[in-house]
Structure 1
Amino acid sequence: MKTIGFIDYFLDEWHAEKYPAWIEAASGGELRVAYAYGMTDKPGGLTNAQWCERKGIELLPTIEAVVDKSDFLIVLSPDFPEYHEELSRLPLQSGKPVYIDKTFAPDRETALLLFERARQSGTPMYSSSALRFAAEYETMDRDGIETILSVGPGKFANYSIHQIEPIVALMGTDVRQVMFTGTAESPALLIGFAHGRQATVNHFGDGASFGMIANYRSGNARTVKIESEFFQAFIRNLIRFFQTGEGAVDPAETVAIITIIEYGLKAAETPYQWLKLPTA
């Protein structure tokens, strides 16, 4: 059996709660979350010690201890990506496979820094939204997409990645500009790709489902509503990464996704104006 260490801002959160049982089940017991570290206790929630006791996971006092004792590492903090640089510093020097949870980084500069740290130390690393692995997106033809209209729930800051990740996976990394077109209650972002191709990200209330319409040069369109078990597909991919050391996502795609999110937040300050994205 191989062990996984969690490194989190605080451990009492949805991803940390669900991943251990999913990983153990999907790996047939070959992988198990055995160790964990939390930077702070969740305000109003379980302490890290309480969480670990309830889950049967050993709480360790430092990130270094988790890195030393674990075969594989998961840096969580899914809703606090501003801590990913600090939480992943030692993991990315370890040479052990590291998965960094969504959203990978708070900005493009940090994303590039994290990939460079992993490269310098030869540490396998990747990050992704689980939505990338939805069966409905994976069966879509990527060739000839002219426009995409994407919809989903949640706030732009921490949920836009679930729409932007599939868009970039389908349309590529040649992103030129973004324009905010939504409202405070229902954010929307227009993404301009090379050769006039475009995609729109639309956020609605909690009752909204993830899905998209893709229009092709042929004049045909494809409509999908996400109903598959995308988290289970993601977990299977994560296990494959730990077993092989090969990440499923091109770093250029992850950097493009983070750049879109960073500049999308900036574009919200000046709606209906194009904001050019850096390309170098």
Structure 2
Amino acid sequence: MTPTGAQPLRFGLIGVDSAHSVQFTRLFGDGRSGMVPGGSIVAAWQGPTVADFPPSRDRNDQLADEVAGLGVPWLDSPEAVAEASDALLVVASDSRTHPGYLRRLSPLGKPIYIDTRFAPTRQEAIEMLEQASADGCLVLAGSPKRFTPEFRRALAAAGDAERIDLDGPLPEQPHHPFLAWYGVHLVDLAVAALGPDCATVDATGDRVVATWADGRVAVLGGDAEWHPVTRGVIDSPTGSQAFAIEASEGMLVGLLTSIAASCRSGLPTVPPAEIVATVAIVEAAARSRADGVPVDLQR
């Protein structure tokens, strides 16, 4: 909810070649009567089409038209959007563009949400967070699935999680290695449940096994074809908690509510160590699969 008497936060979109650009705009609405009160999309910058990346190549202009049809004005640069906004939502679909956008926008000091696929590599994620810290820029991150009531209820009921098994769609896209496109959602859920201290990643078998330094385990798998349901089981000393998340526009409500709350409180949606851990696990899984051996993240 918007604090009594507070004006809705003004959000600006950076890149619109993800369906989240349209969905976020609809969910926020006018900032008071939408499904997520507390903010509205007041400006957008389309960003160039990434020709070698199908999600951008095939839908950038279409999604731009849809965003414009919802009444969002176009501005001619990310900096102009930042000037018109209280916070920024980088929803450009190609994670290769995210480090450059962060470097460009961080000095402006506005909170920045980097959508789902934070960075291509662990080193880039670290550098992005270090720059943001130096600039006094609040960085927000996290898969929408992390903020769903289904997952949060299961995690709270489980208590001290010892293991999480996750099954969901694992489609891939060019220039985004194994797990980096849709599998990152599963990795983010694992890190949300077990924390950032993953020690090894083994992607040599049918399922990815990530083992934490204290012996806790995440097992991730699924089908190459996209489908809407992600399922999981969290094990703890008190028992097991199962959950299922169905992808839909409504699934984004928890994420947007958390983003708005973070912009007001100044606290991140996801601790920086967990952001880095998610990127590192994705990167390690691709290397493990390519090399045919487990990868030690503690070296």
Per the normalisation by structure 1, the TM-score is: 0.87
Secondary structure at the aligned position of 1:150 is classed as strand
Q: Which residue of 2 aligns with 1:65?
A: 80
Q: Which residue of 1 aligns with 2:263?
A: 242
> Which of these residues, 172, 194, 211, is aligned with residue 231 of structure 2?
211
> Which of these residues, 127, 133, 149, is aligned with residue 113 of structure 1?
127
Kindly state the Cα deviation for residue 214 of structure 1 after the two structures are TM-superposed: 2.4
Q: 209-218 or 82-91, which moves further after superposition?
A: 209-218
Q: Which residue of 2 aligns with 1:76?
A: 91
Structure 2 Cα separation of the partners of residues 61 and 77 of structure 1: 16
Q: Which residue of 1 aligns with 2:211?
A: 192
Conservation of the 8 A alpha-carbon contact between 2:208 and 2:285: yes
Matched, 1:4 2:23: no
Conservation of the 8 A alpha-carbon contact between 1:98 and 1:126: yes
- The CA deviation string for residues 255-280 of structure 1, in whole angstroms up to 9 with x for no partner, is 11110001111111133x2210146x
Q: Which residue of 2 aligns with 1:162?
A: 185
Listed as ranges, the gaps of 5+ residues in structure 1 are: none
The residue type paired with residue 27 of structure 2 is W
Q: Which residue of 2 aligns with 1:85?
A: 99
- The CA deviation string for residues 62-118 of structure 1, in whole angstroms up to 9 with x for no partner, is 11111222121111113x111001122232111111111111111101111111111
- The CA deviation string for residues 170-192 of structure 1, in whole angstroms up to 9 with x for no partner, is 11111111011446xxxx31101
> Which of these residues, 39, 48, 60, is aligned with residue 40 of structure 1?
48
Structure 2 Cα separation of the partners of residues 194 and 127 of structure 1: 24
Kindly state the Cα deviation for residue 52 of structure 1 after the two structures are TM-superposed: 4.6
| 1:5-20 matches, cutoff 5 A | 5-8=12-15, 11-20=16-25
Conservation of the 8 A alpha-carbon contact between 2:158 and 2:240: no
Q: Which residue of 1 aligns with 2:164?
A: 148
Conservation of the 8 A alpha-carbon contact between 2:22 and 2:67: no
Structure 1 Cα separation of the partners of residues 255 and 40 of structure 2: 16
Listed as ranges, the gaps of 5+ residues in structure 2 are: 1-7, 50-55, 172-178
The count of aligned residue pairs is 269
Structure 2 Cα separation of the partners of residues 2 and 213 of structure 1: 36
Secondary structure at the aligned position of 2:222 is classed as strand
The residue type paired with residue 76 of structure 1 is V
Q: Which residue of 2 aligns with 1:268?
A: 289
* Pair 1:49–1:169, CA change in 2 (3 A): closer
Structure 2 Cα separation of the partners of residues 143 and 27 of structure 1: 28
Q: Percent identity?
A: 24
Conservation of the 8 A alpha-carbon contact between 1:180 and 1:189: yes
